[in-house]
Chain A
């Protein structure tokens, strides 16, 4: 594959004005209090109130969402209308599985760079707890037959064709988290990486504990001020990521049984990202829009990259997406101040770190001369990641870019890299920079 150019290099600069997100709410085995559009709406409305321009000043609204509900087709447009962006607001929804939120930012950035748009509301949302239960195809065919039977005899005959097995529902979430080509569950792809890089269960569990500890610390320090509380209809509000287990420990995690490769695997519910509902929304703008509306600047989006790889090893996607950005910008790992690599699985991040510094991997898989310097783990996911916060697939990409910018702002540093692995065998990465 020929080296790609930076898609944003020759266009107008792309600024991130501000962003907010809902708390990420762990799915508790039944539909949660919010639909995906509710989360995006509630995160978005407070964001819009913070800025002087009216919502119909946007040029478009772009949201990432993997499985929007049946009442939310093209959820970006639904959210745009609920936010009062007006009926003339174009809006579209993007789907690149686990990186849908980042894809939305990328689309917005491209349109600003090219001059098509000046002000874009972009982000991602997902209500995984609302993933549907589906009728099997056989059940649907039977119902259709029954429906079209005209005479009593035909109806009776159609009725008789029923088989109890038709009643078995198809669980949308499980299908969604299974690769239809490699026929592997996402957890199984993580097991493959575990095996390939000889990662130990203790390493994975230690990583998971640290993710929780970091989130706990970030909450205590107030480092998550991008969160806007959301309110349900029953008098409850939610203002913090509730997947946090501040008391997580090696002992507790060691007790969990593997869920994907039973009984001998190493990936457990405790060292995987949680199934979660959440939304993250960002305002992206051109220089003209910043001046016109006198908007603050949180940072710039400098570069982005998408990459494909073996679906069975999809967890290494970040390595494949980040490498070209590093290469064409001439960066070494030390040039990046902070990293956000989405934690689909603890082992998957560990595998990425291993591949990144593995000369053989970098030469053979990435066509590089040598390996990268190791990524400093003290600069990676410093306020916790998907294992503790959760991974609402449509939203995570937008969340990590937003939090990375917030981290750069807080630490007064300059450059950050956000990246995700993508079910189906891809990786996505985005390079951001904080303006002075």
Chain B
């Protein structure tokens, strides 16, 4: 290590060729993140290195998982006001400006994660080299937290690769591997591990001209082209996110449109814009949701259980897709059903998933090879996890478990994907009843991150811990819930769907109902959602919940199911479907929906939220918010339903609910839990976790 003593978080070695190798190695963490402290240490180190006039600087990470994963998101929540935010951002810009202004060549040597601030650091270097492997991911995902790059990222990326590639990365927040980054021009080389250091050395010993965009790419930043392109970008963004809900992408486009030819002005505007965004409600709520996600992820660390083989029984949509998802995450999967005929369609869906995820032939083949159609049930004996996903019939499930249990490994998980049957009814025939746990996935499995871990007092806590760890193994978010009817997500979602059906029955056009919900921030309107889930399923869940929790299922829903109008899958539900897309008829021009339709749907949902909190369906009030955001897509920019109640004011909402009750009857009767929302937060469960 030469004459350098080892400093915290980073250290530099100067080799015989006088090349400075700066190793990033944040203390006490497996991942490099750019906290304010790390950033200052980095700055000091740059000054030190400059004094020693090396031939060049290579920045690399000693962390196994990657280069730099981004800023310290936790610090974002500590920024009290616009001024504090602006100061912090401008300091970051200064640090990277210093890096960009070094009088010798600099190289970022990238492996694994290189995200957000990490990529902005790399962009401030003269050259970038990425490792060529599937684990290397580069991106600027800030937009997902309601902000955009703030440490000069937008300023440096657009001229480097042109506005199309740059905006694609920044507006979508998607990540790319080394090879794609090379194709775009974000990195100078994508090379295998064995060539990384040789490539870095060669760039410093014989520095070429830095990367330039193609003529066409450069043209995209021209003052005359920008307004036009900005218009196109805005139109594309509008399809995904509304300006009033998600201002960040629009701010980014505006910033680039106004300032792209003046680097300093753009730098300044970038800092101003991020400072504005990050202190606003959308960013704060998205950051909250992000941190909640980290909380749920952390639940998986309570057990060292590492499943390698999964056996799924029931090759229907849910079972088949759960099996495919597990295989795509590297597990060895057997998929059982009564005949090859029932399994074959699941294999087709699996192939489509793998093709979309992996693209290249061999990884797709590997995933297909990991998924064995198993109509004889050969996989049971070796499985670490057995997931039952057959039709919702308690007798059939019990009979199945009775056959399975003696064949299963001693420590293997026995999980059911039931969405409606309490564990108590299912476990009666088991020799070890405490081993049954619910793993409730959502449809479509590959898109919905949430998995409800369903347990009751009889479930072995060790089994719950294992189920939670397994959920993380397959990269889903575990949400522990009690085995009460509807668990959490469906129970809260159902009143909202049923109210939408009421509205439709009253003559409100379905498109207007959906529009009101989307305006609130739901990803899809309730009518379309009901059609997508399947009206028969909605009715089934509705009946079960009504049976346990009271309330009524609208006759309208029953009628539609009777007529065979089951939703998207039958070609007609509330909407008619053409090529899988709903035909939404526009309402008459003079049609004005009642002002309270959104309130009716949302407040019924919130009322159920309060009921769930009161009944302690979740351990932690925050989990409810995370569950609704990741399980239903509940407006993430609102930070979850409970947070929404707190933001809007409990009293205001309760008043509106009472008002609805007086007009529409007892289904709006406020739950007993209203009046003490704050109590749910302080009253954390006293379990040992």
**B343 CB-CB contact with A under 8 Å:** yes
Give the distance in Å from the alpha carbon of A46 to the alpha carbon of B379 in the complex. Answer: 9
Known A49-B372, A237-B340, A239-B340; contact A231-B378, beta-carbon cutoff 8 A: no
Asked whether B435 is an interface residue with its Cβ less than 8 Å from the other chain, the reply is no
Question: 4 shortest A-B CB distances, which residue pairs?
Answer: A235-B348, A49-B378, A233-B351, A237-B344
A206 to B368, CA, bound (A): 43
- Asked whether, in the complex, the Cβ of A235 is within 8 Å of the Cβ of B375, the reply is no
Residue B373, interface by CB 8 Å: yes
Contact with A along B312-345 (1 / 0, CB 8 A): 0000000000000000000000100000110111
B374 within 8 A of A: yes
CB-based nearest A residue for B341 = A237
Interface residues of B in 45-59 (CB under 8 A from A): none
- Complex CA distance for A231 and B348, rounded to whole angstroms: 9
- Within 236-252 of A, Cβ neighbours of B (below 8 Å) are at 236-237, 239
Q: Are A229 and B373 in contact (CB under 8 A)?
A: yes
B109 at the interface (CB under 8 A from A): no
A45 within 8 A of B: yes
Report how far A380 CA is from B372 CA in the complex, Å. 36
Which A residue's beta carbon lies closest to that of B350? A233
Contact indicator A41/B375 (Cβ below 8 Å): no
Cβ–Cβ contact B344 & A235, under 8 A: yes
Name the prevailing secondary structure of the B interface residues.
helix
Complexed CA–CA distance, A232 and B373 (Å): 11
B426 interface contact, C-beta 8 A:
no
- In the bound assembly, the distance between CA atoms of A138 and B358 in angstroms comes to 39
**Alpha-carbon distance between A404 and B368 when the two chains are bound, in angstroms:** 32
Given the known interface contacts A231-B343, A237-B344, A239-B340, the answer about A41 and B378 at a Cβ–Cβ threshold of 8 Å is: no
A82 to B372, CA, bound (A): 12
Known contacts A229-B340, A233-B368, A237-B343; 4 further A-B pairs (Cβ under 8 A): A49-B374, A231-B347, A234-B348, A235-B344
Give, as a whole number of angstroms, the nearest-CB distance from A24 to chain B. Answer: 16
Q: Mark A264-303, 1 if CB is under 8 A from B, else 0.
A: 0000000000000000000000000000000000000000
> Are the CB atoms of A82 and B369 closer together than 8 Å?
yes
Give the chain B neighbours of A231 by CB distance below 8 A. 340, 343-344, 347, 373
Please indicate the chain B residues that have their CB under 8 angstroms from the CB of A236 in the complex.
Answer: 344
Inter-chain CA distance A234–B350, complex, in Å, is 10
Q: Does A410 touch B at the CB level, under 8 Å?
A: no
B76 to chain A, nearest CB (A): 44
Are A233 and B340 in touch, CB under 8 angstroms?
A: no
In whole angstroms, what is the CA distance A82 to B371 when docked? 12
Instruction: Say whether A41 contacts B369, CB under 8 Å.
Output: yes
A235 to B351, CA, bound (A): 9
CB < 8 Å neighbour of B345 from A46, A229, A235, A239: A235
Enumerate A7-61 residues with CB–CB distance to B below 8 Å.
41, 45-46, 49-50
Question: Which B residues are in CB contact (< 8 Å) with A235?
Answer: 344-345, 347-348
CB pair A229 B379 closer than 8 Å:
no
User: Which residues of chain A have C-beta atoms less than 8 A from B369's C-beta?
Assistant: 41, 45, 82
The answer to whether A233 and B348 touch across the interface, beta carbons within 8 angstroms, is yes
Residues on A with beta carbons closer than 8 Å to the beta carbon of B376: 46
Asked if residues A50 and B348 are in contact (CB atoms below 8 Å), the reply is no
Binary contact readout B289-306 vs A (1 if CB under 8 angstroms, 0 otherwise): 000000000000000000
Distance between B344 CB and nearest chain A CB, rounded to angstroms: 4
Instruction: List A contacts of B351 (CB < 8 A).
Output: 233-234
Cα-based distance from A235 to B347 in the complex (angstroms): 6
Q: List 13 A-B contacts (CB under 8 A).
A: A41-B369, A45-B372, A46-B376, A49-B334, A49-B372, A49-B379, A229-B340, A229-B375, A231-B344, A231-B347, A235-B347, A237-B341, A237-B343
Instruction: Name the B residues within 8 Å of A233 (CB-CB).
Output: 347-348, 351, 368
State A41–B365 Cα separation when bound (angstroms): 11
Give A183 to B212 CA distance when docked, in angstroms.
62
Q: How many residues of A contact B (CB 8 A)?
A: 15
Instruction: For the complex formed, measure the closest distance between the CB of B351 and the CB atoms of chain A, giving whole angstroms.
Output: 4
Chain B interface residue number, banded: 20 to 34
> Which parts of B379-410 form the interface with A (CB within 8 Å)?
379, 382
What's the least CB distance linking B353 to chain A, in Å? 11
Closest B residue by C-beta to A54: B382
- Name the A residues within 8 Å of B345 (CB-CB): 235
Bound CA span A46–B376, Å: 9
Residue of A nearest to B364 (CB): A233
Per the bound structure, the CA–CA distance linking A229 and B344 in Å amounts to 10
Whose C-beta in chain B lies nearest to the C-beta of A51?
B378
Name the residue on A nearest B369 (C-beta).
A82
Q: In the bound complex, what is the Cα–Cα distance between A233 and B369 (angstroms)?
A: 12
Residues of B within 8 A of A50 (CB): 378
A45 CB contacts on chain B under 8 angstroms = 369, 372
**A83: nearest residue on chain B (CB-CB)?**
B369
A residues near B334, Cβ cutoff 8 Å = 49
CA distance A296 to B140 in the complex (A): 58
> In the complex, what distance in Å separates the CA atom of A374 from the CA atom of B375?
44
Q: Nearest chain-B residue to A35 (Cβ)?
A: B365
Q: Considering only CB atoms, which chain A residue lies closest to B349 in the complex?
A: A235
Alpha-carbon distance between A231 and B379 when the two chains are bound, in angstroms: 17
| A234 and B382 alpha carbons, distance in the complex (Å) | 28
B372 and A46 form a contact (CB under 8 A)? yes
Alpha-carbon separation in the docked complex, A237 to B340 (Å)? 7
Q: Kindly state the separation between the CA atoms of A45 and B348 in the bound complex, as whole angstroms.
A: 19
Residue of B whose beta carbon sits closest to that of A233: B351
Q: Give the distance in Å from the alpha carbon of A237 to the alpha carbon of B339 in the complex.
A: 10
CB distance from B629 to the nearest CB of A (A): 34
Q: How far is the CA of A51 from the CA of B219 in the complex (A)?
A: 65
Q: Tell me the bound Cα distance from A236 to B348 in angstroms.
A: 8
A239 proximity list for chain B (CB < 8 A): 340
Of B345, B373, B375, the most chain A CB neighbours within 10 A belong to: B373
Q: When each residue 511-535 of chain B gets 1 if its CB lies under 8 Å from chain A and 0 otherwise, what string results?
A: 0000000000000000000000000
Q: Which residue of A lies closest to B362 (CB)?
A: A71
Closest A residue to B355 by CB, please name it. Answer: A233
Shortest distance from the beta carbon of A130 to any chain B beta carbon, whole Å: 15
Instruction: List A contacts of B368 (CB < 8 A).
Output: 233
Nearest-Cβ distance from residue B448 to partner chain A, whole angstroms: 23
CB distance from A77 to the nearest CB of B (A): 15
Task: Give the distance in Å from the alpha carbon of A194 to the alpha carbon of B293 in the complex.
Answer: 77
- Report yes or no: A237 in contact with B348, Cβ–Cβ below 8 A: no
Name the distance in Å between B376's Cβ and chain A's nearest Cβ: 8
User: What is the CA–CA distance of A82 and B332 in the complex, to the nearest angstrom?
Assistant: 12
Q: CA of A229 to CA of B382 in the docked complex: distance in angstroms?
A: 21
Residues of A within 8 A of B348 (CB): 233-235
Q: Which residues of B contact A232 (CB under 8 A)?
A: 347
**Of A41, A234, A237, which one neighbours B373 at CB under 8 angstroms?**
A237
Tell me, in angstroms, the Cα distance from A231 to B374 when the chains sit together.
11
Residues of B within 8 A of A41 (CB): 369
- Provide the bound-state CA to CA distance between A235 and B341, in Å: 9
Q: How far is the CB of A159 from chain B (nearest CB, A)?
A: 31
Interface centre among A234, A235, A236 (most CB of B within 10 A): A235
> Within the complex, what minimum Cβ distance (angstroms) separates B651 from chain A?
55
Smallest CB–CB gap between B184 and chain A, Å? 30
- Residues of chain B with a CB closer than 8 A to A82's CB: 365, 369
By beta carbon, the residue of chain B nearest A49 is B378
User: A256 to chain B: closest CB distance in Å?
Assistant: 33
- Whole-angstrom distance between the Cβ of B407 and the nearest chain A Cβ: 13
Contacts of B373 in A (CB 8 A): 229, 231, 237
How far apart are A394's CB and chain B's nearest CB, in angstroms? 20
User: Contact flags (1/0) for A151-193 with B, using CB distance below 8 Å?
Assistant: 0000000000000000000000000000000000000000000
A235 to B342, CA, bound (A): 10
Report the separation of the CA atoms of residues A236 and B372 in the bound assembly, to the nearest whole angstrom: 14
Q: Which residue of A lies closest to B361 (CB)?
A: A71
Shortest beta-carbon distance from B45 to chain A in Å: 42
Q: How far is the CB of A44 from chain B (nearest CB, A)?
A: 11
Q: How far is the CA of A237 from the CA of B372 in the complex (A)?
A: 13
- For B374, list chain A residues within 8 Å (CB): 46, 49
A108 to B404, CA, bound (A): 37
A346 CB → nearest B CB, Å: 32
Known A41-B369, A229-B373, A234-B348; contact A46-B378, beta-carbon cutoff 8 A: yes
